[in-house]
Structure 1
């Protein structure tokens, strides 16, 4: 691959956010040089899972990143996935580095740089910014990561990095705080896309030959019922552990840690029949799959996802609430099958549109041509 490349991942960008009306420059560039289409993310449709796949071109079965949170039943250990060591697949950053090319990973959330930063010549997060790199790029101090302007700040940083260092590969992503709180037709959401539209236009003008892909890690939908699956099981006298893959430290994004999928670890296999009966009679649970079946269907590592996987109904999510159920108008979230459809805008793409089915195909195709 002789040309330079950039991937911009708009965190939580459902297709309804990115339209010809909200992003006219992007659509015009795509019409001239590439395409716009809907592709699919990987399940579960959460941040860590899909950054791993977009960066590697592989499935979760290869990356072994199956959520934002982990649980090791054999030792009872659990925690947030925020540092290196969890990602098991080679990334496009590492592939570029291995052939002597320069790379950059710029993110609003610190965990993205923490987990995936190996191979980045230049690494920057708005959450824990590198003072030396900020000075070299002429950046002011970043706003809070849940501020609307954090998207503008990280895009300004990416533009400045390309102006200053012109890395062969640039990966940039923001925070989905705004999309967790504002629907596509709101001025707040439109402003987020306006930032993307402006800065991608400027980056293209700066380096017209650079290959640019704009996509998302997952979508976003309104949910009206939150179910506490752990409390439901506890009250039924069942002994199990519910792991919500969406759970992370960014509580301002999802105040109930609510998401559309749960991994269930049974502590007493003799309770399997009772657990399945409870799940099947709970309307918020749309589907129950064994870990083996879920792994085969969604390319997940069976050994990392418990014994069963619960899938939420379209307007429901699993969350950490007081009691078993909460009916609310305040929850916009993701994680389920219903947040897997995402946009892809390609400028000077490496391959034809039909070859991009999943967001991970961007890296898979690019790495094959290195």
Structure 2
């Protein structure tokens, strides 16, 4: 990263320098933007704007933060740091002190601040729009209408107020009704709102983050996926035509997790552990769990395991025995103690389980069979987030005319 000159105002966070935008800058995070969607769309000629980004701008395929989930990776995008620094290492977690389980729906578990907040403090007008409201309440950290910031979600657009979100009557202003929670329209609403704010000159820096509902349900080259990606590409072109610098990234990958017969390839790990080591009182936490579970059944490639009946120094050998047995399971790619997982994946150790299990490509890991309602998949094949960093189905792709912070 180049050093700022005295003539180039900038902000610093976590050892990096970010220049203040000299013209409107739009960062779009396409949730679940697996590289295959880009590859197929460009080959089939349905993504002309993204194709032009690859030809004339900057493009790279990068590893995402682990676990490969929405909350951790959106925070890593807007902090430029791994989860060990910003502290948000899942959508759902177990409080080791109280034993209670919690969903992450605001910024109370994060550490430090964000690039967006730093830019706002420097006088940059921020527009941060999310598809999901739970994410809005996280990335809203450090933003407020008093700093000329606008931050609202498509999910709750009809509830936006000037005092909370910096904008009101969003439905009337945009001329669209608040979309259904489970729909591709939720993401397109975000982009349409961003285009309108840009056309009205109401923000200098935009962070627009979408939903992965379509990617969870439909594979690349399906009719539904093609329509959705083409609609996104069209709106990216509108940002460019309005004079913005445009950066597009993903937060995690997405791939098929079903067998040839269409049934999901699932390891219900807590059931396995209760059968083999009942005294360990294992609890498996699926950090993919959030208020949007209908399309993935709270099944992903990464789980944390807490052994409530163990944990003392004298029990360490049994913990290592259990981890070793988990490594032998055909669905498992990696099983690591909490210490090793936190070090390898740059996650906060104080939030980690006794051990971590990551699935192989094509598989997902759950807790107990009775905790996952797969009937909501509606007969479609299960598609979900990837597992090990660097594996084909867990990478993030970054497509941009200019990738901010570089």
TM-score normalized by the length of structure 2: 0.80
Q: Distance in 1 between matches of 2:132 and 2:192?
A: 16
Contact preservation (8 Å) 1:227, 1:324: no
Which residue among 322, 332, 343 is the counterpart of 1:296?
A: 343
Structure 2 gaps, min length 5: 1-19, 144-148, 162-167, 259-264
Find the partner of 1:260 among 301, 308, 317: 301
User: How much does 1:231 deviate?
Assistant: 1.5
1:87 and 2:110 matched: yes
Q: How many residues align?
A: 347
Partner of 1:353: none
- Partner of 2:38, secondary structure, is coil
Counterpart Cα distance in 2 of 1:76 and 1:187:
45
Partner in structure 2 of residue 36 of structure 1: 59
**1:51 counterpart residue number:** 74
Divergent runs of 4+, >4 A: 323-326
Distance in 2 of aligned mates of 1:137 and 1:71: 41
Higher relative contact order (CA 8 A, sep 6+): 1
Q: TM-score, normalised by structure 1?
A: 0.88
Structure 2 residue 215 is the aligned partner of structure 1 residue 179: yes
Larger Rg: 2
What's the offset of the Cα at 1:135? Answer: 5.3
For 1:65-76, what aligned pairs fall within 5 Å after superposition?
65-76=88-99
**Do the aligned residues in 1 keep the contact of 2:154 with 2:187 (CA within 8 Å)?**
no
Counterpart position of 1:356: none
Q: Secondary structure at the match of 2:330?
A: coil
Gaps of 5+ in 1: 351-361, 366-370
Name the counterpart of 1:193.
229
Q: Which residue in 2 is equivalent to 1:17?
A: 37
- Counterpart residue number, 1:122: 150
User: Structure 2 CA distance, aligned partners of 1:329 and 1:321?
Assistant: 21
**Matched position secondary structure for 2:101:** strand
Cα pair distance change 1:176/1:309, threshold 3 Å: same
- For 1:276 and 1:122, locate their aligned partners in 2 and report how far apart those are by CA, in whole Å: 47
Pairwise mapping of residues 232-243 of structure 1 onto structure 2 (< 5 A)?
232-236=272-276, 237=278, 238-243=280-285
Paired residue secondary structure (1:18): helix
Partners of 1:9 and 1:183 in 2: CA distance: 19
Alignment partners' CA distance in 1, 2:119 and 2:356: 36
